[in-house]
Amino acid sequence: MHSLTPQKIAVFNSLIDKADVVSIVTHVHPDGDALGSGLAFKHYLEQVRRKKVFFWFEDNYSHGLDFLFTAGETEYIQSLRQDERKYRKAMQNADLLLCVDCSGMSRTGDIQKIFQGTKMPKVLIDHHLSPDAGSFDLCFSETEISSACELCLQVLKAMPDIDGDTAKLPMRCLTALLTGITTDTNNFANSVFPSTLTAVSELLACGVDRDKVLEHVYNEYPEGRLRLIGHLLDKGLTITPEGVAYMVLTRKMLRKFQIEEGDTQGIVNLPLAIKNVRVSILLREEIRQFRVSLRSKKGTSANRFAVEYFHGGGHENAAGGKLLIPRDIVFKGKASSYIEKSARAFFEKEDNQ
Ligand SMILES: [Mn+2]
């Protein structure tokens, strides 16, 4: 664990000491790991270090993650969203910026603009490939780890006031961490390392309610999500000869099945259950672009596919990107042929290596 040296922890600890107000940011379209790692630090900084904390993220999250927030917090976030100037100013005047679960500020969306040129120290805690370490004063980055939440737990445990004792962390912090580890490993189906199970074992020993996390995250979807999955798998799934499975989720479908932001999470994993599928791609229609999610089986790089054909990246077997209209395809009806062409080119290269 080379990113977690005592020197770096000491620097981070003194940056926290010197700060009264801390801003935390994470990636757009936040998932369980993004919210979990941001909230874990929020609760630690507020309850253990007595700091004022602003945690901000663009877009809404899946309803299954609502339980991470109290009703008052949700209301507060909504009120801030209505008064953009207020939160922008508050975040901009912070003494320390913490960026979690993204490889750099460019992944945080619009919010990045307000931190450009600001002088406050900036710290990155992340587990993606190729982090933008140069833009941060301090960087904790590991890729051989399940999630940002697992890395956050290691950093938090190394803090002098926690001193290796997970039980000293607030319960809401621990619940947030378990949520991120659970969702980023797809409920312990991928990216599980020995350290992951050790971390989770500690969280459970401290009394985190895993049943409650699972119930909220996996068993509270709206009905439309399951019906949409049925529709997509039956009518909208194509598998190329190279083993690339793809599905295109149109705005019309989202409307028909009453699907909200966040409710499509996990759908991209499903085609990997098919024997000859090596990569699964889900396109989601937006304005003048498709948002792209990619998953791959071991031995095939979703990251490389995303970098080469979708202006994106992420992890070796889970990545994301965009398909731009008209830059990549002339109109949205060309998405299928773009994927099929990319699949051929990608595997021609890959299989010749
Ligand atoms: Mn993550």
DSSP 121-161: -EEEEE-SSS--GGG-SEEEE-SSSS-HHHHHHHHHHHSTT
> Residues within 5 Å of ion ligand 1 by Cβ?
33, 101, 147-148, 184
Mean pLDDT of all residues in the chain?
94
- Between CA 296 and CA 55 the distance in angstroms is 32
Distance 191 CA to ligand 1 centre (A): 11
Cα–ligand 1 centroid distance for 331 (angstroms): 32
Residue 341 Cα to ligand 1 midpoint, Å, equals 29
Cα of 145 from ligand 1 centre, angstroms: 10
Reply yes or no on whether the pLDDT at 351 is more than 80: no
Partners of residue 245 on adjacent β-strands:
239, 280
DSSP letter string over 74-126? HHHHHHHHH-HHHHHHHHHT-SEEEEESSSSGGGGGGGHHHHTT--S-EEEEE
Query: Once rounded to an integer, what is the mean pLDDT over residues 295-305?
Result: 96
pLDDT reported for residue 58: 85
For residue 30, how far is its CA from the centre of ligand 1 (angstroms)? Answer: 9
pLDDT, tens only, 83-118 = 878 888 888 999 999 999 999 999 999 889 999 989
Compute the distance between CA of residue 288 and CA of residue 324 in angstroms, rounded to an integer.
7
The predicted pLDDT at position 353 comes to: 63
Burial 214-242 (b: 16+ CB within 10 A, else e): eebbeeebbebbeebbeebeeebbebbeb
Instruction: Name the token pair of 281.
Output: 């791609």
> How is the chain split into domains, by residue range?
6-218, 223-352
* pLDDT tens-place string over residues 286-298: 999 999 999 999 9
Distance from C-alpha of 336 to C-alpha of 195, rounded to nearest angstrom: 40
Strand pairing report for 21-25 and 52-56: parallel
The answer to whether 342 touches 309, Cβ cutoff 8 Å, is: yes
Could you tell me the distance, in angstroms and rounded to a whole number, from the CA of residue 101 to the centre of ligand 1?
5
d(CA 34, ligand 1 centre) in Å: 6
pLDDT tens, position by position, 127-176: 999 999 999 999 999 999 999 999 999 999 999 999 999 999 999 999 99
Distance from the alpha carbon of residue 281 to the mean position of ligand 1, in angstroms? 18
CATH topology of domain 223-352: Diaminopimelate Epimerase; Chain A, domain 1 (3.10.310)
Give the CA diameter of the chain: 58
Q: Which CATH number fits domain 6-218: 3.20.20.120, 3.40.50.150, 3.40.50.10490, 3.90.1640.10?
A: 3.90.1640.10
- How far is the centre of ligand 1, averaged over its atoms, from the C-alpha of 140 (Å)? 14
Q: Which of 58-67, 97-106, 184-193, 297-306 is predicted least confidently?
A: 58-67
Q: Which residue has the higher pLDDT, 221 or 206?
A: 206
Enter the pTM of the model.
0.92
Distance CA 145, CA 151 (A): 7
- pLDDT at position 2 is 61
Q: Ligand 1 centre and the CA of 33: distance in Å?
A: 5
